[in-house]
Amino acid sequence: MKINKLAPGLGVEITGVQMSELEGEALNSLKAQVYENGVAVLRDQELSPDQHIAFAKRWGGIDVNPFFPTNSGWPEIAEVRKAEDQKDNIGGGWHTDHSFDAIPAMGSILVARELPPVGGDTLFSSMGAAYDSLSDGLKQTLGSLRAVHSADHIYQPDGYYSKTDLAGEMTGQDLSTRAVHPVVVRHPVTGRKVLYINGAFTLHFEGWTREESLPLLRYLIEVGSRDEFQCRVQWQPGSVAIWDNRATWHLAMNDYHGHRRVMHRITLTGEPLAA
């Protein structure tokens, strides 16, 4: 296993291993890289849908997102796709997956299946580094706050994703997503304090109105999206990214209009988050 850093504080690129063969201590080593670095990109993988699912099950449980189309025959795999004639993409703003669930997802395993000739990179940002950069006074204030998360405004029929490939999936869905989490959580594996809000799904602080919450939320989102906390994943055929939702945000670049992009995602089961 050869490991190269993607950025000083976030992300690693791994070559020299095949995920389909990883188990035991080798798998534990990969998990450690993801937990410590937020995201790991594995290159030159030959991973069928069945192997994708088998690997995820060796890692832990699988969460199925009911709003995404599944890869035919493999309901555990969500297809994240953009057609040639679509302008809006899925995941085009800073977010962390499933923060609107009472038990948020641990992370995701994203496999590149069809890529545009150029563009379509994914950016990641470290929420541990973002938290560390805050003043002691703000850290103290945030330590007492909880925030309300929901995805109803994203997935409802006239929501943001109504112009993406998810439009047909959302028709007739029972939309009711809501969860409350501490604004600052301790990572359940590393123990590091991380900022746990995001621009897509965090609505307001518990006990605060949306209007009262927005100034502080906007500031925290600005901090979290600063260049110095980021790394960039440039997709190639055979690339797979595994990331930790508790420790990172991500953003899918929407710079490949006129081309098709298809990714296969499996979401990994998490655990309750605590301050």
Per the annotation, the verdict on 95 as an active-site residue is: yes
Identify the band that residue 156 occupies on the pLDDT scale cut at 50, 70 and 90.
low
Select from 7, 151, 184 the least CA-distant residue to 68: 151
Per the annotation, the verdict on 265 as an active-site residue is: yes
β 146-149/202-205 pair status: antiparallel
Per-residue pLDDT at 71: 65
Distance of alpha carbon 129 from alpha carbon 195, whole angstroms: 9
Tokens standing for residue 2:
């050869």
Which range among 11-25, 40-54, 160-174 shows the weakest confidence by mean pLDDT?
160-174
pLDDT above 60 for 134: yes
Question: Catalytic pick from 52, 81, 95, 264?
Answer: 95
Question: Catalytic pick from 97, 101, 165, 244?
Answer: 97
β 248-252/122-126 pair status: antiparallel
Question: Catalytic pick from 246, 250, 261, 264?
Answer: 250
Per the annotation, the verdict on 158 as an active-site residue is: no
Q: Delineate the domains of the chain, giving CATH numbers in brackets.
A: 2-268 (3.60.130.10)
H or E element: which one contains 179? strand 179-182
pLDDT above 80 for 239: yes
When the pLDDT of each residue in the chain is averaged and rounded to a whole number, the result is: 91
Per the annotation, the verdict on 259 as an active-site residue is: no
Half-sphere exposure of 220 (CA within 13 A, CB side): 28
Tokens standing for residue 178:
């809501």
